[in-house]
Structure 1
Amino acid sequence: MNHQEFAQVWVDAWNSHDLEDILSHYSEDIEITTPMIALATGGKESSLQGKASIRKYWQKALDKFPDLHFELIHTTAGVNSVALFYKSIMDKHAIEVMFFNEEGKINKMYAHYDE
């Protein structure tokens, strides 16, 4: 699957609100860093590690934003990585840089949002 196909599959998973489908793209040891975590935790942290922790965080996010919808704008490929530019929640633009392990699962992700 090329980076454009992956990006569309990833966006479609989020737009389906199917948490298991979303999590299927990530490794068990996934580490995410995003300003949205700081918003959700009152500024206490900005990174989470491990699928179990991320599952809880994303379930809360899906519950809080039942109309969550991502709109893919552009995607670029790197070495074992991809960057997605998309329209996110609250009309924010986001760029997520995702790094893949040997099995093709995302094991590290950094998200960036406009203010």
Structure 2
Amino acid sequence: MDHVTARVFVDSWLTAWNAHDVDAVLAHFTDGVTFRSPVAAQLLGGDGVIRGKVALRAYWQEGLRRIPDLRFELVGSYVGVDCLVINYRNQKGGLVNEVLVFDGPLVVAGYGTYLGEDANPAGAR
């Protein structure tokens, strides 16, 4: 992944989240995506692993239902060989890193990572 491609992706991802447009966010993910997040475990129970785009949609829609003022502010983004880290502040000011692994142009795996005190359903995605 090059920096130009990463910047286009991050801008699109951020715009979609701030518009609460789950379909636009999901357009970046494969049907078989896995997403791991401690917040998913808190919101939905289970092990925090979301499997598949349908389940990811349901998780994010529930998150937006519970956090109607959700908003992200980009802090930085970091490019790897086939991955991207998006560092942002959420609506409560909590710092979050989203680690996304790609296969070509689409995300096949994602990880929501939080500072200990920020991993709660009211404050993070």
The correspondence of residues 26-45 of structure 1 with structure 2, limited to 5 A, is 26-42=29-45, 44-45=46-47
1:72 maps to amino acid: L
1:90 maps to amino acid: K
Are residues 1:92 and 2:94 paired? yes
Does the residue aligned with 1:67 lie in a helix, a strand or coil? coil
1:27 maps to amino acid: T
Which residue does 1:15 correspond to in 2? 18
Q: Paired residues, what number? A: 113
Does the residue aligned with 1:90 lie in a helix, a strand or coil? coil
Distance 1:109 1:5 in 2: 18
Which residue does 2:103 correspond to in 1? 101
CA RMSD of aligned residues (A): 1.3
Which residue does 1:113 correspond to in 2? 114
Structure 1 window deviating more from structure 2 (22-31 vs 1-10): it is 1-10
Change (3 A) 1:93 1:7: same
CA deviation after TM superposition for structure 1 residue 32, in Å: 0.3
Q: TM-score, normalised by structure 1?
A: 0.91
For structure 1, the residue ranges without an aligned partner over 5 or more in a row are none
Percent identity between the two aligned chains: 30
Are residues 1:73 and 2:111 paired? no
CA deviation after TM superposition for structure 1 residue 89, in Å: 4.2
What is the CA deviation profile of residues 23-61 of structure 1, one whole-angstrom value per residue up to 9, with x for unaligned ones? Answer: 11111001000111111034x221111001111111111
Distance 1:84 1:10 in 2: 10
Structure 1 window deviating more from structure 2 (79-88 vs 3-12): it is 3-12
* Structure 1 runs, 4 residues or longer, greater than 4 Å off: none
Distance 2:59 2:44 in 1: 10
Which residue does 1:50 correspond to in 2? 52
Distance 2:29 2:81 in 1: 17
Distance 2:93 2:10 in 1: 19
1:98 maps to amino acid: L
Does the residue aligned with 1:54 lie in a helix, a strand or coil? helix
2:13 maps to amino acid: W
